[in-house]
Chain A
Amino acid sequence: MIKLRTENLTRRFLGLVAVNKVSFSMDEGEILGIIGPNGAGKTTFINLISGIIMPTEGLIEYKGNDITYVPAHERARMGIARTYQLIHPMENLTLIENVMVGSIFAKGNGLKEARRKAEALCHELGLRGLDRDTSRLTILEIKKMEIARALANEPEVLFLDEVMAGLNADETKDLIATVQRIAMERHLAVGVVEHVMGVIRELTHRVIVLEAGELIAEGKYEEVSKNPRVIEAYLGGGAA
C-alpha cells in the first residue's frame, strides 16, 4: 500500500534547482535508500517532505491526502518523522525530555504518559542515563536519541538523514539491526540517506538515486549500482 508519494516535486533556490521534478512513492513496510553525490538534493528532498521548506512546484501526497503545503508541525502529527543530518538536540532539555517532546506535541500525551513512553523508547534503543544533559552524550547516543525523538511522534513514515555518519563499524552494525527491527515491528516506511554503500546494501529493499536534483535511477541496490548513469554520477561528482 502506498504511504507517501511525490509528483514532479521541485524546489529552486534562486537559480539553483536543488530538487528537480522528482516523482517517487514509498510503500508501507518498505525501507528505501536515497543516495546521490554531495549536493544532489537528498536533504532538501527530505526537508520538502517533512515540511521544513515548501516546494516551488509539484505535489506531495500522504495516505492519499494532498499535504504539499501543510505546515511541518501538522505533518509531524499526521505521522511523518525525520532525523537531521546536522544534529539538533535541545540542549536545555535532558535526554529523556528530548524524547518526550514528540510524544507530548505530536501525539498529545500528558507529561506522565509521555515520560513512560519515552523511557520505553530509550530502553528499546539501548539508551541509558536518561536524565543526562545532551552535552554529555556520545555520538552514538546522540544519533540514537535523534531516532528516539523521531519515533516519539509514533510515525508511519520515517526519514533518517545520515544517522550512521561518524559511527565506527560495530556501532554501525548495531544501528542497522536496530533500524531494521524498529521498521519491521512498526510496519514503518523508512527513507534512508547514507553515503556508505555497505549500509545501503544491507538495510534497504529499494534505492532511488538523485543527481543534481533529478531522480536518475531506481531499483534494487544490486541493479542500481551497476547502472552506468549512476556510476558516472558518482565518478563525475568525485565521490566514488
Chain B
Amino acid sequence: MNRNVSRIFAAFFGVLAITLPLFAGDYPLQVARNIMLYMALAITWDMLLRSGQISFGIAGLFGLGAYAAILGVIRAGMPAWLSILFAAVFSGVAAFLIGLLILRLRAMYFSIVTLALGEIFRIIVHNLHDFTGGPEGVVIQQGVIFGGNANKLYWLALVGLAVALAASTWFEKSKIHFALTAIRDNEISAKSSGIDIFRWLLLAFVVTSAIQGFLGGIFVQSYGFATPDTVFSADFTLLPLAMALLGGVYSTTGPVFGALLLGLVSEWLKLKIPYGHLVVYGIIIIIVILFMPQGLKQLVRRDAGKTEGRNA
C-alpha cells in the first residue's frame, strides 16, 4: 500500500472513530469501547515485545492502575480525571521499581516473573481488606465520571486508544525503534554499537506499563467499581496477546487489525454461542502460531509484493 493511501485510510478511520457516537446506538458504542480497550492493551504489549521481552503482566499493571484510580477517588477524594492520570503514574513508577529488579531476566524467566506479578498484586489487594475492600472490591458511590454518559465514556476510551497509538508510533519512528530491534536481534552487537540495553528496556517497560495503568484507570472509572477478580482478570493479558499475534507483531498496525477482527468476531460469537468465543480464541491462537507466525500481516505483505511485481 502506498503511503498516501494509508494516510487517507487512517484519516477516514480516525474521523469515523471520533464521530461514531453521533450515529451509533448504545450497544455498538459499548462494543467499540471494549474493542478499543483491548486494542490499546495489544499495542502496549507489542511495544515491549519489540525488544524481545514477552510480558504476561498486562493484567497486573492494568489492575494496579485500576485500583490506584478508584482508591484515589474513594480514599483521597481525587477528581475522576486526576485519578486516571494518577493510575498511569502509579503503574509507571511500580514498573520502574520492578523493572530495576527483573529486567536482567530474559525469555521465559522474564515472562514467568511478569505473570507472577499480576497474581501478587491481586493477592495483595485481596488481603488489604480495610483499604482496598478485599475480595468484594470497591464502588464509587457518587459522582461517577460524566454521569455515566455513554458517548462521553466512548470518547474517554478513544483517548486511551489514542495515547497507545501515539506512543507506539513514537516507538516506531524514533531511535527507540533502533534500540529495541537491535536488542531483540542481538544484544552483543547492540552493546558494541553503544546501546545501553538495560536503560532502553526500562524505558519500554515503564512507558507500556504506565499506559496499561492509564487504561486500567479509564476502565474502572467507566464502570464505577473494581474487584480483584475483574480488574486482574487473565483476559486482560491473554486477549491482547492473541490479538497482536493474529494481526502480526512488531508494529502498530498488526495489533490494531488483530484487535478489530478478533473483537468483532468474538462479539458476534458471544451472541451466537455464549462462551463459545473463548474456544474460538484458543483455536485462533493455535492456528496463527502454527501456520502464520507473522500474523495476518503475512497475507497483506505477500499481496503487496505481488502487486509491486505486476507494476514493475
Q: List chain A residues, Cβ under 8 A from B193.
A: 73, 76, 101-102, 105-106, 149, 152-153
Digitize A149-163: 1 where CB-to-B-CB distance is under 8 Å, 0 elsewhere: 110110000000000
Tell yes or no: B152 within 8 A of A by CB.
no
Contact A93 B185 (CB under 8 A): yes
Least distance between B181 CB and chain A CB atoms (Å): 5
**B194 and A106: CB pair below 8 A?**
yes
Interface residue from A76, A89, A105 paired with B178 (Cβ < 8 Å): A105
- Stretch from A21-29, A77-85, A191-199, A231-239 at the B interface: A77-85
Q: Which B residues are in CB contact (< 8 Å) with A88?
A: 186, 188-189
Residues of A192-237 at the interface with B, using a CB-CB cut-off of 8 Å, are none
Tell me if A95 is interfacial: C-beta within 8 Å of chain B: no
Residues of chain B with a CB closer than 8 A to A106's CB: 193-194
Cβ A73 vs Cβ B197 within 8 A: yes
Name A77's closest neighbour in chain B (CB-CB).
B194
For the residues of B in contact with A, the DSSP-based class is helix
Q: Which residues of A contact B174 (CB under 8 A)?
A: 111
Chain A proximity of B297: nearest CB distance (Å)? 14
Q: A100-B178, A101-B178 are in contact. Are A84 and B195 (CB under 8 A)?
A: no
A119 within 8 A of B: no
Contact at B175–A104, with CB atoms within 8 Å? yes
Most buried by B among A73, A81, A111: A73
A contact residues around B184 at 8 Å (CB): 92
Chain B: minimal CB distance from A75 (Å): 9
Whether B178 lies near A104 (C-beta < 8 A) is: yes
Give the residues in chain B near A51, CB-CB below 8 Å.
191
Contacts of B186 in A (CB 8 A): 88-90
Q: Separation in Å of the B200 CB from the closest CB of chain A?
A: 9
Across the interface, do A84 and B188 meet the contact criterion of CB distance under 8 Å?
Answer: yes
Q: Is the CB of B194 within 8 A of A73?
A: yes
B194 contacts which chain A residues (CB < 8 A)?
73-74, 76-77, 102, 105-107, 153
Size range of the chain B interface in the assembly? 20 to 34
> Is B150's beta carbon under 8 Å from chain A?
no
Smallest distance from the beta carbon of A137 to chain B beta carbons, Å?
A: 15
Beta-carbon contacts under 8 Å, B194-228 to A: 194-197
Residues of A close to B95: CB separation below 8 A: none
* Min C-beta distance of B256 to chain A, whole Å: 20
Residues of B within 8 A of A84 (CB): 188-189, 192
**Cβ–Cβ < 8 Å partners of A73 in chain B:** 190-197
- Chain A residues 74 to 133 lying within 8 A of chain B, measured CB to CB, are 74, 76-77, 81-82, 84, 88-93, 97, 100-102, 104-107, 110-111
Contact partner of B192 (CB less than 8 A), chosen from A76, A100, A110, A111, is A76
Interface residues of B in 131-189 (CB under 8 A from A): 174-175, 178-179, 181-182, 184-186, 188-189
For residue A177, CB closer than 8 A to chain B, the reply is no
B62 within 8 A of A: no
Contact A90–B181 (Cβ < 8 Å): yes
Tell me the minimal C-beta distance from A11 to chain B in angstroms: 16
User: B56 interface residue, CB < 8 Å from A?
Assistant: no
Residue B250 interfacial (CB < 8 Å): yes
**Closest chain A residue to B175 by CB distance?**
A104
B15-34 contacts to A (CB < 8 Å): none
Once the chains bind, are B178 and A72 in contact (CB under 8 Å)? no
Collect the chain B residues with CB atoms within 8 Å of residue A93's CB: 178, 181-182, 185
**Interchain nearest-CB distance for B169 vs A (Å):** 14
A-B residue pairs in contact (CB < 8 Å), sample of 15: A71-B196, A73-B190, A73-B193, A76-B193, A82-B192, A84-B188, A90-B185, A90-B190, A93-B182, A102-B194, A105-B178, A106-B193, A111-B175, A149-B189, A149-B193
Given contacts A51-B191, A92-B181, 15 further A-B contacts (CB under 8 A): A52-B192, A73-B191, A73-B192, A73-B197, A76-B193, A76-B194, A81-B192, A88-B186, A90-B190, A91-B185, A105-B178, A105-B194, A105-B196, A111-B174, A149-B193
**Which 4 A-B residue pairs are closest in the complex by CB-CB distance?**
A106-B194, A105-B194, A90-B185, A76-B194
